[in-house]
Structure 1
Amino acid sequence: MTKLPPFDLRTLPTRPPEYALQVGPTLIVVPHPDDESLGCGGLLALLRQSAVPVQVVLISDGTMSHPHSQVYPAAARRALREAELRAALSELGVAPDNLVCLGLPDSRVPSEGEAGFQEAVAQLRQLFADAVPTSILCPWRRDPHPDHRATSQLVRAALAAGVAQPRLLEYVVWAWERATPADLPQPGEATGWRLDIGPVIAQKQRAIAAHRSQLAPGIIPDDPSGFLLSPEMLAHFAQPYEAYIEVK
């Protein structure tokens, strides 16, 4: 038996920008504000350039990036991050009324078997049924963040309970930097490709920049332990391609 090579995100076959049209009308599910721009901002921009419908579902309330801030208490943090998300989507050509926010607790998005999981699955199932997308985007199922893994579980459970079966594309955020070999697709588990986003890389960078609270120096002044994306992390998303995984 021929041994399959390890899955390498950096050497996946490249698809041209026009390939985005094969993705068709799309619904993207994001655990936190900024995941949409980091993981697939280029694809979204290419879709919208051709007037392909894009809808966005935000899973968490995004409040745990700076949990100790008093200047921005939890409600203000949620409002800030949702406003940043809308600004980022605008840069990508996605209208604000195409965003739905579920408001699940940041860092505690329920996994299968936990309280609130089935309720969130039901909400997603209804959203999928209403939107009837050709493709659904969600984080890679073993992306190294618990909310990303839980979001993937929610999406897959909602799809399993539905009648229509859109194409499921899994995007990469933390796997670029933190993945162990076990986190990546195993031999024979999945296929993947990289989308050339060169024509819209400037749009993607503007969308990332719209998440001002997550970028140094930040705009939340009183939580020095708060989260900021590192330059090393951001470098992965300055490349003119995005990686997508499809499980067999």
Structure 2
Amino acid sequence: MVTEIAGLGTSEEAWSGWAGPAGWPTLAPPARPLIVAPHPDDEVLGAGGLLCLAGGGEVVAVTDGEASHAGSTVYAPDELVALRRAETAAALSVLGQPATPVRHLGHPDGDIDEAALTATLTGLLSPGRWCVATWRGDGHPDHETVGRAAAAACAATGAILAEYPIWMWHWADPGDPRVPWHRARRLDLPAAVCRGKAAAVAEFRSQTEPLGPAPADAPILPPHVVARFLRPYEVFLT
């Protein structure tokens, strides 16, 4: 369900005014979750609070996000790889999880090998372990590929799948029939966890701040996008 991600999208004001989340069941943080991120920052944006409340886990960084600024006048793709890996480490440290293992798979950004990823995740999962990955209907090709691979790996191993939306908050509207809201679960975040998550998101400066003056160096996550991930709860589809 690849969806055009353009313009300002649905505002956080619209989402915060929606009564839907108040009626969703709450989620208890699982032990040792495997959090799968298509790009560096997705794991913190979508599941940083869960990682904190779980007391740690493991992160799989599928790509290094080297295509986030195609045509950048400041950084070459290999320089972005190094920068984004460093940002991940800094964000996890600020989040209070500096010892969290990060497995960098190095798939090409924009061209993830779904079969290979499924095999890798199958080898990392076990019955009853939680696999937390981007939603299969998120609208971004890499996010959907990761979601499908995680679903297949969970089906093969007996692991438990929880999917987190990222770009759905941009293109969908409250109550949107394209979203399986009946599967939504809410993870409430204490104030201290919210502060830590906000500080962790801020570590991804290559995404939240301009790399330079050219249009190709514009931030991928400007303030109106980041605002969607600073709520006092996270949402998972189970």
Any idea what the Cα deviations from partners look like across 1:101-152, whole Å, max 9, x if unmatched? 111111222xxxxxx33222212211225xx772110111101211110100
Mapped contact 1:9–1:243 kept (Cα < 8 A): no
Mapped contact 1:140–1:172 kept (Cα < 8 A): yes
Residue aligned with 2:132, SS = strand
Any idea what the Cα deviations from partners look like across 1:4-41, whole Å, max 9, x if unmatched? xxxx863442638xx32xx1221100111111111011
> What does residue 192 of structure 1 align with?
184
Paired letter, 1:37? V
User: In the aligned structure 1, how far is the partner of 2:186 from the partner of 2:54?
Assistant: 15
User: In the aligned structure 1, how far is the partner of 2:38 from the partner of 2:52?
Assistant: 19
TM-score in terms of structure 1 length: 0.79
Deviation at 1:97, TM superposition (A): 6.0
**Which aligned segments of 4 or more residues in structure 1 are displaced greater than 3 angstroms?**
8-12, 180-183
> What does residue 84 of structure 1 align with?
87
Deviation at 1:204, TM superposition (A): 0.4
Q: Any stretches of 5+ residues in structure 2 without a counterpart?
A: 1-18
Q: Tell me whether 1:46 sits opposite 2:53 in the alignment.
A: yes
Mapped contact 1:143–1:179 kept (Cα < 8 A): no
Alignment CA distance shift 1:117-1:195 (3 Å): closer
Q: Tell me whether 1:103 sits opposite 2:106 in the alignment.
A: yes
TM-score in terms of structure 2 length: 0.82
Residue aligned with 1:65, SS = coil
> What does residue 207 of structure 1 align with?
200
Q: Tell me whether 1:31 sits opposite 2:35 in the alignment.
A: no
Paired letter, 1:224? P
User: In the aligned structure 2, how far is the partner of 1:73 from the partner of 1:96?
Assistant: 29
Match of 2:116 among 95, 103, 119: 119
Give the aligned CA root-mean-square deviation in angstroms: 2.4
User: In the aligned structure 1, how far is the partner of 2:194 from the partner of 2:136?
Assistant: 25
* Same amino acid, percent of matched pairs: 37
Number of residue equivalences:
217
Residue aligned with 1:93, SS = coil
Deviation at 1:96, TM superposition (A): 5.2
Alignment of 1:56-67 (within 5 A): 56-67=59-70
